[in-house]
Amino acid sequence: MKLVIINYGSGNLHSVHKAFEAVNNNLENPYEIIVTNTPFEILNADKLVLPGVGAFQDCKNAIHKIDGLFESLEQVVIGEKKAFMGICVGMQLLAEKSLEFGECEGFGWIPGEVIKIEAPADYKIPHMGWNEVTFRNHELLNNISQNTDFYFVHSYYFRTQKNENCIATTKYPNPITAAVLKENIFGTQFHPEKSHNNGKQIITNFLEWEPS
């Protein structure tokens, strides 16, 4: 089984790769982990991970700059329904659009838009640090306690159009989407690769996940 981590120059690629590798080494049947941006490898993936930090538009442009990258992603994720996980901006890209630095279209895989966090004046932006996450029961959140802390760094968040696509939230002080899910497509606003043991558990759950 092949797990592809998409390399389009994202700053957290190394951390994501190392965290997945550490978890994968403890699995009974480890994946072959491939860090790549070639459509051929992506088309042969069994599971895919899209990291992302920085500005929404920069990430989207970087993906579209690589010939055939987006098209191959769309084919395996939307066409063949392979398990997919987006992290931080890699999750926000799933939205229809983002309002960061003007309007920018996303992948449109999950209905909703990426908007600025609205918080009282004494709340610092970016929302940076460890914050409690509450979630709906799902196998992707197995062995995680409610109100467990995960590491966040962001100024915008994904407001899903449908409640059913938001499976986890955090509070700052208003509710902020912490994780999204639609069929085979999963995404976290927090950084599992930086969330110590809880983050490793999320990665384990994703590696063991078989979307129906």
- Residues 6 or more apart whose CB falls under 8 angstroms from that of 80 comprise none
The residue annotated as part of the active site, out of 88, 104, 113, 166, is: 88
φ, ψ at 93 (rounded to 5°): -60, -20
Return the range that interacts with another protein (CB under 8 A); candidates 26-34, 77-85, 121-129, 178-186.
121-129
In this complex, which beta carbon is closest to another protein, that of residue 1 or of residue 22?
A: 22
Q: Which of 7, 36, 75, 131 binds another protein (CB under 8 A)?
A: 131
88 is catalytic: yes
Q: Which of 33, 117, 200, 204 binds another protein (CB under 8 A)?
A: 200
Q: Which of 33, 34, 43, 55 binds another protein (CB under 8 A)?
A: 55
Half-sphere exposure of 136 (CA within 13 A, CB side): 9
List Cα–Cα distances, 107 to 30, 96, 100, 114, 171, in angstroms. 30, 6, 15, 12, 26
Q: Which of 33, 43, 115, 153 binds another protein (CB under 8 A)?
A: 153
- Are the C-beta atoms of 194 and 129 separated by less than 8 Å? no
- Are the C-beta atoms of 143 and 202 separated by less than 8 Å? no
Of residues 138, 114, 131, the one with CA closest to residue 55: 114
116 is a site residue for another protein (CB under 8 A): no
194 is a site residue for another protein (CB under 8 A): yes
Query: How wide is the angle at C-alpha 2 spanned by C-alphas 110 and 75, nearest 5°?
Result: 40
CB atoms within 10 A of CB 210: 8
191 is catalytic: yes
Q: Which of 2, 41, 151, 183 binds another protein (CB under 8 A)?
A: 151
In this complex, which beta carbon is closest to another protein, that of residue 149 or of residue 183?
A: 149
154 is catalytic: no
Query: Minimum Å distance from CB 21 to another protein?
Result: 8
149 is a site residue for another protein (CB under 8 A): yes
Interface positions with another protein (CB under 8 A): 11-12, 14-15, 18-19, 22, 53-55, 58, 89, 124-132, 149, 151, 153-155, 171-172, 191, 193-196, 199-200
Cite the active site residues: 88, 191, 193
